[in-house]
Structure 1
Amino acid sequence: MDVDKSQHEVSQVITPRPLIIKGNDGEPLLRKTIQYDFLQALFEDPTQCFTEPSLPAPNNKVTFNALYRKALINSTKMTGSQRVKMEQFQDFGLVMAQVCLLTNVGRINTTLAFYPDMRTALRYYHSIPSLQRDDTTRQHMYDAARMKTVLKGCIGNENPPVATPQDILNRQATGFSPACNPVAALFAFTAHSALITKDHFKDCEFMDLFLPGPYPSQARARALLWLLYRYLEDAKGPNPFQDPAARSQKFAPPVPRISMEEMELENIDTPEELDYGRRMLQYRIEFLNKTEAEYAQDAAKGKVDPNVNIRGQRAIKKKAAIGRAVQEELAALETQSNLSRDSSLPPTQFPPGLAIGALDGGLHAAVSSSGVSALNPQQVILTQTEQNARHLLAQPPAVNLYTHAMNRMVNAIIDSDDEDTETHAQVLLDRRLAILHTFCTPPVPVLTPPA
């Protein structure tokens, strides 16, 4: 009796939420953050093995891309206009599906939005340069809250509903093909990721498929497709994504570990994407400054807008202040970089072993421990900025950077009754360094000062 009870309790375990993508308001989500190469490998796989119920047999086998997009289009919560856009504009439909999948597995929560002209206190604007490639994807993308509603509409299409991986297998055994739609399956896999890992993965955990880590994108995509085919189509027969050398069909194809150097060869943002991220960050900062000034003018004139609460104004005030801080740092770095570029001094040499670490989605650059390398002026300044900041945080001298940031927040941008002063100051410092890393080490050739 106790054994049965224990097994029942294990089956009901819901694992903690996966690591949610986080970033300061205005900060772009770069390829490494969203795992762009993994999403591309998943949605570009050409294998037509998934059953599309609305098509007549035997011409009803489609790719995962087509199956997932069809599930979104059939959602009871999808608007007619958005449904038309997804069907008519293939690129928009693909981007919409990819961002929905990130929301589907918990990587994106409902605070994220894609419109820079936004005053909502509980939403944070982020551009996704690698996915927002044209006007349609930049102007008509749902925010994450609306995407979550659409995804829930997909679950409502299943009767009876599926809540666990075993529910899906039970439906498959009764003749459902596919057993459910892929949105419902991913919700079930994510909620019971520990059981999925135990049953089907040897090299990594299920949630590792979606997170930045030392696993190749192609292998992770193949493992997820294997899992989806097993549950949606056939749990006992041959799987088109199975490793040919596998002795058992119970486990997903191998997901080998790779080195840090190999990781750096994936998810590389293009110069055009970085430029778009910079421009949208600048646009967002200017919008927040303008909005804060409008609120201040209304307050000075005694105008009180009943539709704008105090909490919302304070949120705009915080976001604008952090944006200005980032703007100041970028301007200072640009000025110093120009001075260094105009100098006749040779490029700065760094001692062996020095590395510029990545911060929160930033870009990596490293100096080989086997020799001495030259870095461009922006990288020189960035290295000094990070080293000084981290050193001061670890070993506070007379003037501590952490204390300085906290005091600045207290005196300049945080109301006296705010309770999260210290936490927000730390966030300010971390995000400023992260954005500097992102935008001050573009993948361009090393700049050599004129002779």
Structure 2
Amino acid sequence: MEYSAGQHARVSPPISPQYIGRKTLPIKRSDAEPLTREDLQYDLLYYIFADRTTAFVDHLAPGKPLVNFCDLYVNALYNSSKCSKVLKDKMVETPAFAIEFAKISLLTNVGRINTTMAFFPEMKTALRTYHPVPSLQKTDGNLQDAPRIKNCLKASRLPFEFKVPPPSSPAEILEKVRSGQIPPTSVVNLIFVLSNSNHTLTIAQKHFDPPVDFTDLFLPINISSASRANVFLWLMFHYLQGPDKPNPWDDDYSRANPGKVPRMRTLTREEQQQENVDPPDEVEWGKRMSATRSKFLKELVDEMEMEKRRKKNPAPLPPPTASTSSLPLSAQDLAAFRRARPHRNPASTSDGSRGSSHSHDLQASTNPMPDLALRPQPFVTFQPDEDPNQDRSMLQHAWHVVTTTDPLDDSDQEANEHVRTDYNRRMRVLARLRGKEPTPEPEQATIMLYPPPPPPPSGGGEDGSTGRLQQVRSWQ
């Protein structure tokens, strides 16, 4: 004999545990397939969260006020230790998103949403499937994925439940209530306990008429969404506030039969089809997001295939460019190069300068040098913007030597004024450092230094220098 939900038989047949075990609670859908309102039982969620009856003590709110179920559940999620700061900020900024997140969390709480589901199309892991949820993604918030939601739910506890494990059975919860502990546990933990398969038979026998049990409230069955929401809220009050208090969701049947849930109205097939209807805009949005997911997966697969091909067939390295500077020189080339070295010519002093650096001119060779990249170039005597009458610093002179001196030239010719100035500066530095620790005691020696060069004509005045070499008899 079949029993419709809401019809109460005089003699209740025994409930078979095998019947309860055969129920498929989680939603099963392929990747990129939208979750419809019928899958979610959207009307049921609407009636649950739209009820404004303030009957629950919110232990987490200041002053522990009485609140409705929507505020109680959203606040429990918000105060979870696993609720990220980004998620909290979004819940505060957009209350509509907070309610959407609470609805999808409630479905996860009862086991309707499987932990293999994700709700953002860019999800790459193969362990989860993407599903757009048009009815619960009307805001721009991220519903995340089921494992993160489950972690947030598991961490939603009352302050005293962090030291003592929360109750794990309906009997333990009622025992705490009768001892005066209100609420006995968090609303999230209560739903976990009631939807636990180990307690399904106990809950069904105590509160429901067969063949309905607690998990049937969230399945697409021929019972009205409003009456199922009423029964759900009745159970929440019964366990959170106590079975001995007047239940705001009582009806005549539940008052006449203590412990039994209110009657639930059965629907005809036509009436059932009028509930949880997807509007056209949600259907279109679901199709668009499914197409987005398919495109993302195609691009991801193409990228992975290209990466595999690149690893199997790496692109050949470009051949090295031939450079004349790297070509080996033969003995004849080196000999011709040495014969073609520039020779020094005395610098002209017709311009009245203080002795500029020697210029380098290439001398024609009887054996012409082959056309190589190492052909020496003429050096400049000073930089174009340099004043030849001004002393160079040590750094400027070092740069001048590097850029204007041919290292292949002989250096046995007499140095010019700049070179003598540089020698003087170097020796004065050494003289200052010589007497300091850990320098050993110097031997008696005579060091000859070049005298400082005479001042330029534009400087005016004489410094009285004799121009002779000076003897240094002390290191101080």
TM over 0.5: yes
Q: TM-score, normalised by structure 2?
A: 0.58
Distance 2:134 2:217 in 1: 22
* 267, 275, 287: which one aligns with 2:276: 267
Letter in 1 for 2:35: L
CA contact (8 A) 1:242 1:249 kept: no
Q: Is the 8 A contact 1:26 1:281 kept in 2?
A: yes
CA contact (8 A) 2:44 2:226 kept: yes
Which of the numbers 229, 234, 245 marks the counterpart of 1:226?
A: 234
Gaps of 5+ in 2: 1-15, 314-476
Q: 1:186 aligns with which of 172, 186, 191?
A: 191
Deviation at 1:17, TM superposition (A): 7.7
Q: 2:236 and 2:22 mapped to 1: Cα distance?
A: 22
* Aligned Cα root-mean-square deviation (Å): 2.2
* Highest RCO, 1 vs 2 (Cα 8 Å, sep ≥ 6): 1
Displacement, 1:244?
A: 3.0
Q: CA contact under 8 A between 2:59 and 2:158: conserved in structure 1?
A: no
Pick from 73, 82, 85 the counterpart of residue 77 of structure 1.
82
**Partner in structure 1 of residue 259 of structure 2:** 250
1:198 — aligned with what? 205
Q: Does 1:301 align with 2:310?
A: yes
**Identity fraction in percent:** 38
Distance in 1, Cα, partners of 2:112 & 2:23: 9
Aligned-partner Cα distance in 2 for 1:255–1:213: 11
- Taking a change above 3 Å as real, the CA distance of residues 17 and 213 of structure 1, as seen in their structure-2 partners, is closer
Rg larger for: 2
Whichever structure has more helix as a proportion of its residues is 1
Residue in structure 1 matched with residue 224 of structure 2 by the alignment? 216
Does residue 43 of structure 2 align to residue 41 of structure 1?
Answer: no
Partner of 1:171: 176
Write out aligned runs for 1:385-400 (5 A).
none
How far is the alpha carbon of 1:237 from its aligned partner?
A: 2.2
Q: Which of 6, 12, 19 is matched with 2:25 structurally?
A: 19
Find the aligned partners of 1:226 and 1:41 in 2 and give their Cα distance: 13
Q: CA deviation at 1:194?
A: 1.6
Tell me the SS of whatever aligns to 2:266. Answer: coil
Residue 60 of structure 2 contacts residue 76 of structure 2 at CA under 8 Å; is this kept in 1?
Answer: no
- Trace 1:5-404 onto structure 2 (pairs within 5 A): 18-55=24-61, 60-136=65-141, 140-155=142-157, 158=161, 159-191=164-196, 192-202=199-209, 204-246=212-254, 247-302=256-311
Q: What TM-score does the superposition give when structure 1 sets the normalisation length?
A: 0.61
Q: Which amino acid aligns with 1:261?
A: E
What do the CA deviations read for 1:211-261 (whole angstroms, capped 9, x no partner)? 111110000000010001000002112111011344122100112321111
Deviations 1:264-318 (A, max 9, x none): 01001111100100100111111111111111111122269xxxxxxxxxxxxxx
Aligned length: 289
Q: Deviations over 1:326-374 (max 9, x none)?
A: xxxxxxxxxxxxxxxxxxxxxxxxxxxxxxxxxxxxxxxxxxxxxxxxx
Distance 2:230 2:78 in 1: 24
Q: Which secondary structure does the structure 2 equivalent of 1:154 belong to?
A: coil
Consecutive unaligned residues in structure 1, runs of 5 or more: 1-9, 305-451
Distance 1:235 1:249, change over 3 A: same
Deviations 1:367-419 (A, max 9, x none): xxxxxxxxxxxxxxxxxxxxxxxxxxxxxxxxxxxxxxxxxxxxxxxxxxxxx
Runs of 4+ in 1 over 6 A off after TM superposition: 14-17
